[in-house]
Amino acid sequence: MNLLLFKKLLFILLLLSSFVNCFSQNIVLSEKACVSIITCDTGNESYSLFGHTAIRIKDEINNFDAVYNYGAFDFATPNFVAKFVKGDLQYFAVANTFSDFMSQYTYEKRSVYEQDLNIPLSYKQKIYDNLTHSLASSDSYYTYKFIDKNCTSMVVEILNKNLGSNIIVKKVDTEKTYRSILFPYFNGSFFEKLGTSIIFGNKVDEKGDRIFLPLELQKSLKFISFRNNLLSKDSVVLLNFKKETESSIWNNFYIFSILLGFIILVNKKGIDIFYFSIMGILGVFFIFVGFYSFHKELTYNYNILLFNPVLLALVYSVLRKKTKWIVNLSILNLGFLMLYLILMITKIHLLIVTPLIITSVILLIKTISRNWKRIIII
């Protein structure tokens, strides 16, 4: 091996070793030690739409300043996409120096806020010891769940575990559904909003009584008491960037509506077949994911009344020119759409799927109209 290359590899290994040791050493925190919750604002990328939560431990006496977060995953994981969809993808905790952590969010131009926890030194030490142990063991790994297990809920779990009781509870928006809480986070990202609206099932229509988003935790901490004192001090702005929602000429409601309007106005049987095929295939996918995935958010998905697998039978009947079946299956699908509309009356995502409902109704009526007279003649 080249001597220079060997020296470089040796240097990297020593650097990594010192980095690991920095966060795995057992420090006795001083009276000046601070434990705080870091909340990172939302971003425009899909992975950053909901923000991020982390724990910071700072001790000037020990020259220690680290940020711990449970939001890391490995893209190199075998069958990454399949594992993510199934709901058994492993996330894990990582620690960074505070300066490195802030550099990342400075680069991404995302605001960062800090809330110091007003707790005795003994509890700070317990939190630090727990995080240190977690990093050095399998405890740092967890199976990601969109609502029940994520970077924010893991921080809540750690705090409650070390404070001795479930004092970190949700104090805001407890009467809203999870779906209603999530909806504003997709402003400027129409197709992401549409995608989550149709793939999420009944669970996200339940009242959102669990803290699962970073900004929820930040707001709730302001109202939580511990030992007759407010648990959190006032939030301090560490980084402040004006949130700019990216606009796209393609990723919006109007382009989506124009596309569906084109499908209606073209009035071609081949286009109708293509539309029904896509809707039916998506319905099959939703059913498959509902049974296959461990994500409870994807089960009991009533959106299959719109994305109905029965449409594939209709497509088959059209291709085989089975006139009677075409009419009967079209009427059946219209019935499913009416049922779907009734279920959707109180749902926040009704407006976003309305163009799909209208398109399906018009195409089904046109399909019935094309074949109705043929049945009468026969």
Using the predicted structure, report yes or no on whether residue 342 has a pLDDT greater than 60: yes
Segment 85-91 shows an average pLDDT of 77
232 and 118 in contact (C-beta within 8 Å)? yes
What pLDDT does 281 receive?
A: 97
What pLDDT does 377 receive?
A: 45
What pLDDT does 4 receive?
A: 38
331 and 368 in contact (C-beta within 8 Å)? yes
What pLDDT does 8 receive?
A: 35
What pLDDT does 64 receive?
A: 95
Whole-number average pLDDT of the chain:
87
User: What is the 3-state composition of the chain as percent helix, strand, coil, each rounded to the nearest 5?
Assistant: 55, 15, 30
pLDDT digits 0-9 by tens, 92-150: 899 999 999 999 999 999 999 999 999 999 999 999 999 999 888 888 888 888 899 99
Cβ neighbours of residue 349 under 8 Å, at least 6 residues apart? 179, 183, 193, 197, 198
What pLDDT does 111 receive?
A: 94
pLDDT band at 202 (very low <50, low <70, confident <90, very high): very high
Taking the C-alpha atoms of residue 146 and residue 200, their distance in angstroms, rounded to an integer, is 11
Range with lowest mean pLDDT among 208-212, 269-273, 373-377: 373-377
Share of the chain above pLDDT 70, in %: 89
Which amino acid is it at 189?
A: S
Taking the C-alpha atoms of residue 281 and residue 300, their distance in angstroms, rounded to an integer, is 17
Residue 349: strand, helix, or coil: coil
Segment 315-330 shows an average pLDDT of 94
Alpha-carbon distances of 312 from 276, 277, 278, 318, rounded to whole Å: 7, 6, 9, 10
Q: Classify the phi-psi angles of 28: left when phi > 0, otherwise alpha if psi is within -120 to 50, otherwise beta.
A: beta
What pLDDT does 90 receive?
A: 83
pLDDT digits 0-9 by tens, 242-298: 877 666 788 889 999 999 999 999 988 999 999 999 999 999 999 999 888 888 888
Q: Classify the phi-psi angles of 109: left when phi > 0, otherwise alpha if psi is within -120 to 50, otherwise beta.
A: left
Strands 229-230 and 90-97 come out as unpaired
pLDDT digits 0-9 by tens, 1-52: 443 333 333 333 333 343 444 455 678 999 999 999 999 998 877 778 899 9
Taking the C-alpha atoms of residue 119 and residue 117, their distance in angstroms, rounded to an integer, is 6
Using the predicted structure, report yes or no on whether residue 312 has a pLDDT greater than 60: yes
pTM: 0.84
**Greatest distance between any 2 Cα atoms in the chain:** 93
User: Which has the closest alpha carbon to 218: 351, 89, 39?
Assistant: 39
Range 312-320, long-range pairs (CB < 8 A, 24+ positions): 312/276, 312/277, 312/280, 312/281, 312/284, 314/276, 314/280, 314/367, 315/273, 315/276, 315/277, 315/280, 318/269, 318/272, 318/273, 318/367, 319/273
Segment 176-200 shows an average pLDDT of 91
Query: Tokens 């924010």, residue?
Result: 152
| Angle, alpha carbons 250-301-343 (nearest 5°) | 90
Show the tokens assigned to 146: 């969109």
| Angle, alpha carbons 293-287-320 (nearest 5°) | 150
236 and 115 in contact (C-beta within 8 Å)? yes
Show the tokens assigned to 177: 């559904």
What pLDDT does 85 receive?
A: 67
Alpha-carbon distances of 235 from 217, 220, 232, 238, 373, rounded to whole Å: 12, 12, 8, 9, 70
What pLDDT does 358 receive?
A: 97
